[in-house]
Amino acid sequence: MCFLCDVKHSAWHSRRGFLQAAAGATALAVSTPLLAQVDVGKSSGLRNLVPAEELESASTQEYAKLLAEAKSQGALASAGNAQLQRLHAISKRLIPQAAQWNDRAKQWRWEVNLIGSKQINAFCMPGGKIAFYTGILDQLKLTDDEIAMIMGHEMAHALREHARARIAKSQGTGTLLSLGAQLLGLGQLGDLAANVGTELLTLRFSREDESDADLVGLELAARGGYNPQAAVSLWQKMAQAGGGAGGPGFLSTHPSGPQRIQELQANVPRVQGLYERARR
């Protein structure tokens, strides 16, 4: 839920109007594709308060640092790595489905890399920078269909620009309003996006964002020819892996639970036809 929607005091009305107008002038809204089978509504308008170009540039820099560190430790998978080739094969079927959810994805320089680590983790940063850790593949013994569900979910966070919206919200209305006329010229907002640094790797998305990414990712994977039922088996595996205090860090930002699994089960029939057509 947009945090501006609950503002009741009349003193906020003009400020809210200013924010909404600025958001519309800063960038074009990304709407739900007309042919979408899942119902997730429009992306948050607040994301437009943080310039996409600056955030994507920051993501590219942070991603490069992460890969350089992994390489220095001998943990970055080489091109001939069988697991990396498996990820590349899956991404080649999912990435062509991305542009219908965000037109900017046509210009993204998509990357998929694999890092040797026991961590159960995977992510897609703004601009299409994807990374998987070997721990999530090995410990959960994922099928290609289940990998596609994770990849689709993480791609959905980037396509729906959840990071832009979360960063805008985290700065608070006071900071945004104080920018005044600079807002429409980006001004300090560019610095804001460029300075988020490692926050891009540790952002905690809202429950609504997670649900959004689940459903969009489900559809991306189905359109790519991956069995949507795998979304259910994936999160069942996640729930089992999350038992006890030493559960995977992935679940601290992507909590599993009956409600999540039930929502996915309810949406599998919506994308089943897409999967069947893709498999023909």
Residue closest to 128 by CA, chosen among 96, 86, 85: 96
Residue carrying the six token digits 């979408």 = 36
**Cβ–Cβ < 8 Å for 45, 23:** yes
Tell me: pLDDT of 183 over 70. no
* 111 belongs to the catalytic site: no
| Catalytic one of 154, 161, 210, 219 | 154
CA separation for the pair 160, 179 (Å, rounded) = 25
Rounded-to-integer distance, Cα 205 and Cα 163, Å: 8
Which residues make Cβ contacts (< 8 Å) with residue 28, sequence separation at least 6?
none
Spell out the residues 6+ positions from residue 78 whose beta carbon is closer than 8 angstroms to its own.
Answer: 84
Residue 253 confidence class, pLDDT cut points 50, 70, 90 = low
pLDDT for 29 beyond 80 = no
| pLDDT at position 227 | 98
In this prediction, residue 31 carries a pLDDT of 54
Lowest-pLDDT choice from 97-101, 128-132, 180-184, 237-241: 180-184
- Residue 93: the pLDDT is 98
Closest CA to 113 of 133, 92, 93: 133
Mean pLDDT along residues 253-262: 75
Residue 16 is encoded by which pair of tokens?
Answer: 């809210």
Give the Cα separation of 90 and 84 in Å (integer).
Answer: 10
Whether the predicted pLDDT of 47 surpasses 80: no
The pLDDT tens digits for 55-77 are: 888 899 999 999 999 999 999 99
